[in-house]
Amino acid sequence: MSGDAGAVDLTGFLTLTKREVLRFLRRPSNTFAPPFITNVLYFSVFGVILGERVGTITGVPYILFILPGLVVLGAVSNSFENASFSIFHGRWNEYIHEVLTSPLSYAGMVGAYVLAAATRGLLVGGLIAAIGWAIVSALFRPVPVEEPLYLVAFMLVITLLFASLGVIGGLAASDFDDLTVMNQFILRPLVFFGAVFYSLEDLTPLLRDVSLLNPMVYMVNGVRYGFLGVAEVDPRISLVVLAGMTAAAVAIDVLLFKRGYGLTD
Amino acid sequence: MTNALEVEDLQKSYGDLDALKGVSLTVPEGSFFGLLGPNGAGKTTFINILVGLVRASGGDARVFGHDVEDDYRQARDRIGLAPQEFNVDRFFPIHEVLEHKAGYHGVPHDEAAERAERALKQVGIYDKRNTRFDWLSGGMKRRFMLARALVTDPDLLILDEPSAGVDVQLRRDLWDLVTELNERGTTVLLTTHYIEEAERLCDEVAILDRGRVVTVASPEELMDRGTDRVVVTLRDPPTSTAPLSAVLPGDDRIEDVSLEEGRLVVTARQGGLVAPDLVRELDRAGHEILDMEIKRTSLEEVFVDMTRHDEGDEDGRDDADGGASDDAPLETATVGGGEGSR
């Protein structure tokens, strides 16, 4: 060993995390331009144009109501995409072998991929919040942050959760099309039916009960509680459940790395 | 002395295909060890088990005493691998790729940067340090693979077909560098299709065929198992070998005597040792020798013979001994000069 095992693992973990973060920071046109343009459109079309007709939901202007959901949408999809793409691309071109043949522990490898992907999710989420803040503040009133600790806690948990799920996606994918399928046909429908653009109170009792099976509802609800201080589901329970899901997803990631799933012959 | 590599009964199956069928090997620390075998012999599978890219189906492998699965972190930290395939991070300039690789091995950033610089200078591509791997020429890519293996300062350097597709000058440069590293104590495990490289560089070679070790020996020992040809030109050659047989020494190393285009051809194991006796006996019998050549068998011929398969031969040939074919142009020696130089 180049040093004691713990020091090697920490240095290796930090190196891999830095590598993963630099990979997306050095490509701002890939990382930040698409969510910037998409969310300017969302806020303009849904928030400003349609929002005028919708009026208020749960006592807040529609554009303000959808802001937390759009932040969640951008944060989780970027967390998932970053982890899944980075791992799958590394597998596809086999340069993930640089990591796999190193003395880095499996937990260290997973930790770096998850942390870097969650960082991307947080940055994109922050970008979307800034866009929303600029538009909402200009047209209506400043965007409140009623429960900042909850907001931070929910954002951390959901980005870590989707980064962890992205690791599984990156290991399971056998083609780039698989990544597209995961994102477009699983992730986005869950987000769109996760009460981003509507209130659960507007649904029939049956649809409301079905919606409560969608974990995205709790994420959007929790982030909305952080911004607006209003929640349709108890945020404390949501946070505990989501934190548990995140821990389980990370544990699965480590197990898959240890078993070489998608990585070794 | 600790062995760099100890492998016992290593097995790997892919469904019905047995890629490794119980490989056992020991590579002493500090040695230059060659792993030879035809395509599909299991060489890359063997190497990939050592570095954790393939999981063994059975058996044990230890790198400097560390089990490659149970103590995978310690084992991998001792290994530097230059694989056949270009599996390099395409997102970053090559000096950063090296810094990252060193970092994964626990080398702090500043030292990693120094090591990256040193490794790039060692392989002669320092001026390309800010270039991405995809923009390097084929030869530079191969040099970079070696630099990446060296940047972690490995105790066991594994080179999997490192000179495939590179020109003669680069190959010489690579071998000079690797030889120097070996002389400074780095254990080298080499697979190559260039048999003459193994012949020139390796202390010991293992011939792997169809997932089994056919033999392990020094190149010299292996070549001694092949048959040499001692070709003698006589002033008045006889018309048959009968009178010559009488003057030849009763040496069981001699396998055949024939006349080819008026020249005496003696096929024998260790032809260089047979030749002086042959000269002496011919001289004693009154024959005047005008010229003599010793066509030494090569490692390549021994290799080909050991890995040759008859049609329908499922398991291949496990016999470690066997004569080499005798129709290839080989090194020559002058009369009384003994064996041809390697």
> For the residues A199-226, what does the mean pLDDT come to?
91
Q: Which residues contact B70 (CB under 8 A, 6 or more apart)?
A: none
Chain segment A65-96, per-residue pLDDT in tens: 999 999 999 999 999 999 999 999 999 999 99
The span from the CA of A146 to the CA of A140, in Å, is 17
Residues of chain B whose C-beta is under 8 A from some C-beta in A? 14, 45, 48, 51-55, 72-74, 76-77, 79, 81, 83, 85, 87-92, 97, 99-101, 103-109, 112, 148, 152-153
> For the residues A204-232, what does the mean pLDDT come to?
91
Quote the pLDDT of residue B249: 57
Percent of chain B with pLDDT over 70: 87
The span from the CA of A34 to the CA of B140, in Å, is 36
CB under 8 A, 24+ apart: contacts of A133-137: A135/A40, A135/A43, A135/A44, A135/A47, A135/A48, A135/A63, A136/A43, A136/A47, A136/A61, A136/A63, A136/A64, A136/A67
Coil, strand, or helix at residue B218? Answer: coil
Burial of B168 per CB tally in 10 Å (0-12, 13-18, 19+): exposed
Asked whether residue A197 carries a pLDDT value surpassing 90, the answer given is no
User: Under an 8 A CB cutoff, do B107 and A19 touch?
Assistant: no
- Pick from B223, A212, B327: nearest CA to B215: B223
What are the phi and psi torsion angles at A55 (to 5°)? 85, -120
Q: A223 or A196: which carries more pLDDT confidence?
A: A223
Measured CA to CA in angstroms, residue B68 lies from A56, A112, B17, B77, B106 at distances of 63, 23, 23, 11, 18
Q: B151 or B236: which carries more pLDDT confidence?
A: B151
The span from the CA of A186 to the CA of B271, in Å, is 74
Query: Of A9, A101, A260, which has the smallest distance from its Cβ to B51's Cβ?
Result: A101
**Any B CB within 8 A of A265 CB:** yes
- Pick from B119, B48, B117: nearest CA to B84: B48
Q: A185 or B23: which carries more pLDDT confidence?
A: B23
User: Under an 8 A CB cutoff, do B103 and A260 touch?
Assistant: no
N-term to C-term CA, chain B = 29
Specify the residue for token string 């006589």: B234
User: Under an 8 A CB cutoff, do A93 and B48 touch?
Assistant: no
Quote the pLDDT of residue B313: 54
> For the residues B58-85, what does the mean pLDDT come to?
96
Chain B environment of A1 (Cβ under 8 Å): 73-74, 77, 106
Asked whether residue B316 carries a pLDDT value surpassing 90, the answer given is no
Does residue B160 contact residue B47 with C-beta atoms inside 8 Å? Answer: yes
Mutation pick from B105, B115, B132 vs chain A, by most beta carbons of A within 10 Å, is B105
Measured CA to CA in angstroms, residue B59 lies from A117, A257, B7, B212 at distances of 38, 22, 8, 13
Query: Of A22, A94, A260, which has the smallest distance from its Cβ to B85's Cβ?
Result: A94
Chain B environment of A264 (Cβ under 8 Å): 52-55
Q: B300 or B218: which carries more pLDDT confidence?
A: B218
Does residue B269 contact residue B294 with C-beta atoms inside 8 Å? Answer: no
Chain A environment of B92 (Cβ under 8 Å): 19, 22-23
> For the residues A137-164, what does the mean pLDDT come to?
94
Chain A environment of B48 (Cβ under 8 Å): 265
Does residue B228 contact residue B294 with C-beta atoms inside 8 Å? Answer: yes
Q: A2 or A208: which carries more pLDDT confidence?
A: A208
Asked whether residue B306 carries a pLDDT value surpassing 80, the answer given is no
- Pick from A228, A231, A260, A250: nearest CA to A101: A260
User: Under an 8 A CB cutoff, do A98 and B90 touch?
Assistant: no
Chain A environment of B104 (Cβ under 8 Å): 12, 15-16, 98-99, 102-104
The span from the CA of B99 to the CA of B114, in Å, is 9
Task: Looking at the complex, report in whole angstroms how far the Cα of residue B311 sits from the nearest Cα belonging to chain A.
Answer: 30
Specify the residue for token string 């930290």: B77
B187-191 and B227-234 strand pairing: unpaired
Asked whether residue B184 carries a pLDDT value surpassing 90, the answer given is yes
Q: Please report, as a single letter, which amino acid is at residue A207.
A: L
> For the residues B51-75, what does the mean pLDDT come to?
96
> For the residues B252-257, what does the mean pLDDT come to?
81
**Any B CB within 8 A of A14 CB:** yes
Percent of chain A with pLDDT over 90: 71
Q: How confident is the model at residue B324 (pLDDT cuts 50, 70, 90)?
A: very low
Quote the pLDDT of residue B60: 96
Q: How confident is the model at residue B239 (pLDDT cuts 50, 70, 90)?
A: confident
- Count other C-beta atoms under 10 Å from residue B19's C-beta: 21
Q: B196 or B155: which carries more pLDDT confidence?
A: B155
Burial of A204 per CB tally in 10 Å (0-12, 13-18, 19+): exposed
Asked whether residue B135 carries a pLDDT value surpassing 80, the answer given is yes
User: Under an 8 A CB cutoff, do A264 and B52 touch?
Assistant: yes
Quote the pLDDT of residue B329: 29
pLDDT, averaged across chain B: 84
**Any B CB within 8 A of A23 CB:** yes
Helix (H) or strand (E) holding B244: helix B242-247
Chain A environment of B14 (Cβ under 8 Å): 265
Chain A environment of B77 (Cβ under 8 Å): 1-2, 8, 102-103
The span from the CA of A124 to the CA of A144, in Å, is 19
pLDDT, averaged across chain A: 92
Chain A environment of B88 (Cβ under 8 Å): 95, 98
Q: How confident is the model at residue B318 (pLDDT cuts 50, 70, 90)?
A: very low
Query: Of B51, B73, B89, which has the smallest distance from its Cβ to A95's Cβ?
Result: B89
Does residue A219 contact residue A83 with C-beta atoms inside 8 Å? Answer: no
